[in-house]
Amino acid sequence: MRWSLLALAVGALAKDNDETTTDTITSASSTITGSSASLNWSDASTITNGSVYVPSGTYLTYTSVVTLGNGDHSTVVSSSLSGNATTTGNQTILTTSSNSLTVLVGSGGTTTISNNSMNATATHASTSSTPTQTNTTPCNGYSEFCMRNYSNITNVAAHNSPFVVPGNAASNQALGVTDQLNDGIRMLQFQTHNKSGEIHLCHTSCDILDAGTLEAYLTKVYQWMLKNPYNVVTFMMGNGDYLPPSAFVDPIEKSGLKSLIYTPTKVPMTLDDWPTLSEMILHNQRAVFFMDYQANETAVPWIMDEFSQMWETPFSPTNPAFPCTAQRPPGLSRKDALNRMYMANHNLNLQLNFGSLSLLIPNTADMVETNSADVNTSGSLGKMAANCTAKWDRPPNFLLVDYYNYGKPNGSVFEVAAEMNNVTWNGKCCGSKSAAAHMSVASVSTMALVAAGVQFVLSVF
């Protein structure tokens, strides 16, 4: 029992590992060899038999570009285009054999997109110079986003999205995934672990917090996406047990999301390589999957390697100044960083030291200030986003936050994203119920668990 209490109090353990390795990926057409550096995962520590185990992952640097397959898609989603339309549930599917489609986009332009058999390589053929009609259908909540590249939008990301367990200090969110998506979350980040041959969503260890199977969680997201066909959702999978990407194919397919998968045209993807949201929506490729470690895009092209497509600011930060430096992958040059998407980690933690153990737990006490949109508030999301924009000449693509519904005002994380996107937030948030009780219980539980952890550590050392 005392072991479980200590494990629940442990948010992370940070140590350095300078070991280097070499990775080789082989496909039918190419072999890519790159250097990679082994580094600890600072949010995936476990304690076994009184000793600390810190898993480590590798980062691959591609020395050449690989052209990937175009996926399984041959349909277009729409409720207004002409053609042979069929309806499945709440989704309208349009198939066409014509050479082009005319789509209403953005603030009024009419764009023709070449058909190219409806594969992932569709490109703009022409754009009218005179706006003819205003698009009233928003893409990811805003009509202004329809003609923007996927890589040119700032999204709010839910850190450890599935971890919504009242009274459990390992929780990171107060509202479930359906509420998250309804409120405007467009990246879902989570940790996965192997439990008896099934992939579960567990915080550090399934003994600490087990939010159920990956398949069940993704099924909920799929059901939401069917009802909301003009939305692109990104999934950031933490592969805590370093499973091969093939292990994730079955739960993704069984959830239904495989029918909505986006398959990139190549690896790595630079900023200019990403399609517009309207292209992704029209081709029904609206579910974008990334994996932090062990991705192999020549084997499973639609589970993308995170760190060859984007970089991250310091992970599980304890510094309330939230420096906007590139931490992962390590050693990234500014030139390369400027040509990739990036994620700003803005989930503040407390560091506690027990003997030789260094523990990180979520700092719920300062959550309102941490998620604030006020650029003059120290440690606020608004200030970090502004600093990142100034430092890198463009806003972050993803703002990773805990308890997204808290802020100043509640839901102010969406106000920050709207500011970065140069659009106006509607001010609506958050969820179908109040989560104040959950936050209170989580904070009290954290203190109790830390106390129990101290007692346990003292008894061991």
Give the catalytic positions in this structure: 159, 203
Contact (Cβ atoms closer than 8 angstroms) between residue 161 and residue 180: yes
Nearest to 120 by CA among 88, 75, 62, 65: 75
- Whether residue 233 contacts residue 186, with contact meaning beta carbons closer than 8 Å, is answered with yes
Q: How far is CA 387 from CA 24, 394, 400, in A?
A: 37, 10, 15
Structure tokens at 31: 């072999």
- What is the C-alpha to C-alpha distance for residues 193 and 211, in angstroms, rounded to an integer? 11
SS3 at position 125: strand
CA distances from 447 to 5, 169, 316 (A): 11, 9, 19
Spell out the residues 6+ positions from residue 19 whose beta carbon is closer than 8 angstroms to its own. 37, 38, 56
Q: Which helix (H) or strand (E) holds 419?
A: helix 412-421
Residue keyed to tokens 């969680």: 217
With H, G, I as helix, E, B as strand and everything else as coil, classify residue 177: helix
Structure tokens that stand for 279 in this block: 């292209």
For residue 325 the two structure tokens come to 């430096």
| Rounded distance between C-alpha atoms, residue 362 and residue 446, angstroms | 9
Residue from 138, 105, 88 nearest 260 by CA = 88
Token representation of residue 381: 């999301």
Bridge partners of 289, per DSSP, are 235, 303
Whole-Å CA distances, 136 to 79, 107, 139, 141: 13, 9, 10, 11
b/e for 350-366, b at 16 or more Cβ within 10 A?
Answer: bebebeebbbbbbbbee
Separation of alpha carbons 29 and 225, rounded Å: 35
What does the block give as tokens for 243?
A: 């499973």
Query: How many Å is the maximal CA-CA distance in the chain?
Result: 75
Instruction: Find where tokens 């604030």 sit.
Output: 372
Q: How far is CA 406 from CA 150, 369, 371, 389, in A?
A: 27, 9, 7, 23
